[in-house]
């Protein structure tokens, strides 16, 4: 394996070793670059949706991030995204739970994106 030998462990924000096993190093780096490009503004847009209590804006953002995170092996972030998505019920969104979860989600998002940026260096 390449420079991800020690980056795929249980406590890593993303399982890059598994990603490279599936796609090879070059394609894996392309996927990570695309992930970072696509999710660059997601956190800010999600926060805006939460502040404005706009579940119709929040739900697709959480869904997109859930799927994209799963692709790059960011399982924890994918799970938090799914939980946010699940709390976005039509007309009855659970805003207290969403706000509480968003703090944990934000920390996971930041550590995941930082980790993925290090992988690209």
Q: Which residues of 47-56 are buried (b: 16+ CB within 10 A; e: fewer)?
A: eebbeeeebe
Please give the Cα distance from 74 to 72 (Å, whole number).
6
pTM of the predicted model, to two decimals? 0.85
- The pLDDT of residue 1 is 39
Q: What percent of the chain has pLDDT over 70?
A: 90
117 secondary structure, DSSP code = H
**More confident call, 112 vs 94:** 112
Contact 12, 93 (CB under 8 A): no
Ordered by start, the domain boundaries in the chain are 24-120
Q: Is pLDDT of 74 > 90?
A: yes
Contact 58, 84 (CB under 8 A): yes
SS3 94: coil
- The pLDDT of residue 90 is 65
93 secondary structure, DSSP code = -
Contact 70, 78 (CB under 8 A): yes
Q: What percent of the chain has pLDDT over 90?
A: 79
Contact 102, 55 (CB under 8 A): no
SS3 43: helix
Q: In terms of residues, how long is the chain?
A: 121
What topology is assigned to 24-120 in CATH?
A: 1.20.120
- The pLDDT of residue 92 is 73
């Amino acid at each position: 394996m390449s420079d991800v030998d020690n980056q795929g462990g249980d406590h890593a924000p993303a399982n890059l070793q598994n990603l490279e096993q599936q796609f090879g190093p070059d394609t894996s780096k392309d996927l990570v670059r695309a992930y970072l490009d696509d999710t660059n503004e997601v956190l800010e847009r999600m926060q805006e949706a939460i502040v404005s209590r706009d579940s119709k804006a929040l739900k697709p953002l959480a869904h997109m991030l859930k799927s994209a995170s799963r692709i790059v092996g960011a399982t924890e972030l994918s799970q938090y995204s799914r939980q946010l998505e699940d709390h976005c019920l039509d007309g009855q969104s659970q805003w207290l739970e969403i706000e509480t979860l968003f703090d944990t989600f934000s920390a996971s998002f930041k550590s995941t994106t930082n980790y993925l940026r290090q992988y690209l260096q």
